[in-house]
Amino acid sequence: MTVVALVALLLGGVWVFVAPFGIGLQAPSSPWTTATRNDLATGGALIVAALATLVAYGVLGLREMLARTTRGPEGERLGTGSPQPPADQPGVGG
Amino acid sequence: MPKRMVTMAGSVVAAMAGGWLILAPFALGYRPGGGAWDRATEVDVWSGVGVVVVALVALAATVLATVADLRGRGVLPARTRRSARSEARRTGQDQTAGPAAGPPASRAAGPPASPPTGPADSPTEAPPSPGAAGGPDLRELLVALVQALLADTPAPAGQRSPNARPPGTHPDGAGEATEGAPHGRWRQTS
């Protein structure tokens, strides 16, 4: 879900970046308008943010996976399990 | 967890960029004269709306996953009051939809002023069980607290009621072995 959303944001950034030229809002020979410059800046920022988030997400996920693998099954249980009281816990006041 | 923090930060940045895309045509004055939207304004506004929606969905999904993870680790309480209430409502529906669902129809055919005949009339007339009362543990805790207070309160000499019991005994007939363990769920099992 997260990766899909980040990829969608990346594609949105690419769309915003190329839209002035793809739709024909910006004539190739004329100087760039304010809208074109704004779209390039915003689209570029979106692309950078989405790419950086995707890369960080992948790297951190890989690190977590490696740490879980090297820790073994006990570490995995400690990392994901919820605290459970022992079954033979003495009663209140007993 | 750092993975989710990075995702949340990226989603917030993307949402802000989308918001700027929506506002930019009006803030930067794309439209000469402020008339109908031109093509650049439409493209920017609708692209910004899409970016904001996707970013907010990603942010909400990340926040929900983080909350569920924290609940699983015991950092946050396991359930909110709202979820407990909805579960209690569901439990109540299960109880009324069970084998006791028939009697209300036959009771509706009787005289309307007749009072209920007691607990044996229908299981649906019984007081709500602790699991369906919205505060399942609170009721048990209060019962235990009242019983402990009654057991520890010394009665004045000569004013003991005939139903008074010696301290340390349980009202249901159990003796010292069940002192401090008023509910079966808390009794020592070993």
CA-based nearest residue in chain A for residue B2: A60
* A1 pLDDT tier (thresholds 50, 70, 90): confident
pLDDT tens by residue, chain B, 190 residues: 788 899 999 999 999 999 999 999 888 887 666 677 888 888 999 999 999 999 999 999 999 988 988 888 887 777 666 666 776 777 776 666 544 444 444 444 444 444 444 444 444 444 544 444 445 678 888 888 888 888 888 776 655 555 555 555 555 544 444 444 445 455 555 4
Q: What is the pTM of this model?
A: 0.53
Please, are residues B31 and B38 in contact by the beta-carbon 8 Å criterion?
yes
pLDDT, position B84: 67
CB A68 within 8 A of CB A75: yes
B2: nearest CB among A15, A16, A60: A60
* Mean residue pLDDT across chain A: 80
| B168 or A4: which leads in pLDDT | A4
Q: Would you say the ipTM is above 0.95?
A: no
Burial A72-93 (b: 16+ CB within 10 A, else e): eeeeeeeeeeeeeeeeeeebee
pLDDT (0 to 100) of residue B121: 44
Best to test chain B binding among A18, A34, A42, A76 (most B CBs inside 10 Å): A42
Q: Do the beta carbons of residue B47 and residue A25 sit within 8 Å?
A: no
A34·B14 Cβ contact <8 A: no
CB B10 to CB A1 under 8 A?
Answer: no
Q: Are B57 and A46 a contacting pair at CB < 8 A?
A: no
**pLDDT single digits (tens) A19-34:** 988 888 888 888 888 8
Per CB-CB distance under 8 Å, the chain B contacts of A19 are: 43, 47
Residue A63 clears pLDDT 50, i.e. is over it:
yes
What is the full DSSP assignment across chain B?
A: -HHHHHHHHHHHHHHHHHHHHHHHHHHHT-SGGG-S--HHHHHHHHHHHHHHHHHHHHHHHHHHHHHHHHHHHTSS-SS-HHHHHHHHHHHHHHHHTSGGGSHHHHHHTS-TTPPP--TTT-GGGSPPPGGGSS-HHHHHHHHHHHHHHHHHSPPPTT---TT---TT--TTS--GGGTT--SGGGS---
Task: Give the model's pLDDT for residue B86.
Answer: 72
